[in-house]
Amino acid sequence: MSVVRISDDALARACGADELAAAFTRAGAEVERVSSWGMHWLEPLVEVSGVGYGPATIDDVAAILDGSSDKAIGRIDQHPFIVNQQRLTFARAGRTRPLSLEDYAATGGWQGLERARAIGPEKTIEEVITSGLRGRGGAGFPAGIKWQTVAKAAAARKYVVCNADEGDSGTFADRMLMEGDPFAIIEGMAIAAHAVGAHHGYIYVRSEYPDAIGTLEAAIALSASKVAPFELEVRAGAGAYVCGEETSLLNSLEGKRGEVRAKPPLPALKGLFGCPTVVNNVLTLTAIPHIVAEGGAEEYARLGIDRSRGTKPIQIAGNVRHGGLYETAFGITLRELVYDIGGGTASGRPVKAVQVGGPLGAYIHPDQFDLPFDYEAYAAADALIGHGGVVVFDDTADMADMARFALEFCAAESCGKCTPCRIGAVRGVEIVDRIRAGGRGRDRVESLPQMHNAAKAGRGRREQVALLEDLCDTMKYGSLCALGGFTPYPVLSALRHWPADFGHSGEPENADGI
């Protein structure tokens, strides 16, 4: 009997993969738990002799084993969702057992680390610079330049820190790698440590990822001799979104309150415990072994467009038929991602908006769907790529509610260090409420004291909109970190593209702005 392969990924388990695996075992099949292919709408996905079946249930076990199941999707590696991808960071997804050193070595594991040790730290950094790899977390800063800065810094002790505090809505790539390919993260960190002269590293994981934490700890123990003298530890965060910002993360690692540090000094010069520190996220570090392996840097640099080189793991989520992980070279458009790959909305209704880059990313209007996935192109459109989360909304979404949520989210998650973020987000929620109330008539304005006071002060809808834009400008340029600095993106994009959701009919406003 053929081996039955079922994902051990947390999403697959949430969909019943553990119970399904037990049912196959009871039926006499040999079950192998592997990483996820990333086709989440088909989970639990079962693979037998390369053929996939999904979403499978316990009732499908007998039919899958005798080959008569109507849930067959053909060979998984030839499925349209998979075959057109350019998987480098996720090359092992669906193919290997997460904690099998044999599987990892058989699929090119440790080759990058071995070559890095052979060519030395300086040439290793040159390879990363040549590849054009930019940080896959948000700002897109060149990874090789950051490493070079740490390497040149004079210090008795240096650190490598993996930012695995994946908190953006609609993102799951870090979790998939931590649960499905943990040795790749460890190898990437070991290469970084070798390149900059560090001997100790930390993986900072959000506490909401218990499966990832357990897998990482097991993988670190299994690979200790491979990466020695580099030592690695896992640290769990306490659920603060702001700890995804590197300096706040470092404060948390030091046992302090997770709040943002003013820069300079940069963490590359004065980071963890005051020492030079490389801080990269999971996607950045997992790309490293392939890049440093023989010929990897040149191959990576050939992919992508302009200054956005290599591949980008894109997470498709929200109201979409085919949600999952799609890795491809930079340059793909949202139109392709949403319609050709994602299959449009799960509800069958028209797409109204797509938010790219997490809860602080701009809302992209369908008129902008031909925008190429590229750091500079998105920046020029007042948008962000961020961690690569793509969340789809249909035409039932109220964009004023979404703008309000962004400000409310910022207010709740602010570390409180700077005034524009701490106070600005709270005032922003109030202004959005006043704009919406003003657009719907004076009765609602007078039903809320703070809105009544604003109305009495003579501010109509137009003045409130101007005030909101001015506030967003202050938050964007006056906040210490990206939490306050990026919150204006979803607010202003919603206001710009969907004014009707804010109560503006398009008709000229009267003297009161109502």
> Which percentage of the chain shows pLDDT scores above 70?
94
- When pLDDT is cut at 50, 70 and 90, the band that residue 444 belongs to is very low
Query: Would you say 393 and 352 are in contact if contact means Cβ atoms under 8 Å apart?
Result: yes
Task: List, for residues 90-139, the tens digit of each pLDDT value.
Answer: 999 999 999 999 999 999 999 999 999 999 999 999 999 999 999 987 77
CA distance 174 to 480: 25
49 pLDDT exceeds 90?
yes
Residue 505 in this model has a pLDDT that exceeds 70:
no
pLDDT band at 469 (very low <50, low <70, confident <90, very high): very high
Q: What pLDDT sits at residue 453?
A: 56
Looking at the structure, tell me whether residues 151 and 39 fall in a common domain: no
Range of the domain at 344: 304-394
Q: Is the pLDDT confidence value at 495 over 50?
A: yes
Q: Which amino acid is at 153?
A: A
> Residue 197: is its pLDDT beyond 80?
yes
Would you state the pLDDT for residue 456?
Answer: 42
pLDDT at 123: 98
356 and 210 fall within a common domain: no
In contact, 254 and 241? CB cutoff 8 Å? no
Whether residue 116 is found in the same domain as residue 215: yes
* 280 and 190, same domain (yes or no): yes
**pLDDT (tens digit per residue) in 379-422:** 999 999 999 999 999 999 999 999 999 999 999 999 999 999 99
CATH of the domain at 345: 3.10.20.600
Domain final residue, candidates 302, 333, 368: 302
- Cα–chain center distance at 243: 14
Report yes or no on 59 lying in a domain: yes
Note whether 11 and 159 are same-domain residues.
no
What are the tokens at 108? 């090119």
Lowest mean pLDDT, pick from 99-103, 208-212, 240-244: 240-244
Is residue 513 domain-resident? no
CATH (domain of 450): 1.20.1440.230
What per-residue confidence (pLDDT) applies to 68?
96
Q: What does the pLDDT read at residue 169?
A: 86
Cβ-Cβ contacts under 8 Å for 162 (sequence gap 6 or more): 185, 189, 201, 202, 203, 204, 280, 281, 282, 285
pLDDT higher than 90, residue 140: no
User: In this predicted structure, what is the pLDDT of residue 137?
Assistant: 77
- One domain for residues 324 and 202: no
pLDDT score at 395: 97
Predicted pLDDT at 503:
82
CA of 53: how far to CAs of 38, 42, 91, 95, 98, in Å? Answer: 14, 8, 21, 15, 21
**So what's the pLDDT on residue 439?**
45
In a domain, 158, yes or no: yes
* Position 438 confidence tier, pLDDT thresholds 50, 70, 90: confident
Residue 358 reports pLDDT greater than 80: yes
Q: What is the CATH number of the domain that holds 256?
A: 3.40.50.11540
Q: Return the pLDDT at 190.
A: 98
Confidence of residue 437 (pLDDT cuts 50, 70, 90): confident
Q: Give the CATH number of the domain where residue 51 resides.
A: 3.40.30.10
CB 472 within 8 A of CB 491: yes
Please report the pLDDT score of residue 460 as a whole number.
78
Within a domain: residue 347? yes
Q: Which two tokens stand for residue 443?
A: 């009765």
State the helix-helix crossing angle for 210-222 and 182-196, rounded to 10 degrees: 60
- In angstroms, the CA 5 to CA 503 distance is 53
413/382 same-domain check = no
Helix H or strand E encompassing 219? helix 210-222
> CA 502 to CA 433: how far, in whole Å?
9
Domain assignment of residue 510, yes or no: no
In a domain, 151, yes or no: yes
The span from the CA of 118 to the CA of 292, in Å, is 11
Strand order through the sheet with 311-318: 324-329, 311-318, 389-394, 351-356, 363-364
Same domain, 253 and 346: no
- Statement to judge: residues 373 and 246 lie in one domain: no
Cβ(356)–Cβ(386) below 8 Å: yes
Question: Do residues 192 and 147 make contact, with C-beta atoms less than 8 angstroms apart?
Answer: yes
Higher model confidence: residue 242 or residue 462? 242
Domain boundary residue among 302, 332, 349? 302
Residue 514 included in any domain: no
* Residue 43 and residue 172 in one domain: no
> In the sheet where 159-164 sits, what is the strand order?
231-236, 200-205, 159-164, 277-281
- Tell whether 46 is covered by a domain: yes
pLDDT of residue 32: 98
Contacts with 186 (C-beta within 8 Å, 6 or more apart), sequence order: 219, 220, 223, 227, 232
Distance CA 323, CA 162 (A): 26
Our count of domains for the chain comes to 4
Residues 147 and 223 in one domain: yes
Of 37, 56, 83, the last residue of a domain is 83
Same domain, 289 and 312: no
pTM exceeding 0.85? yes
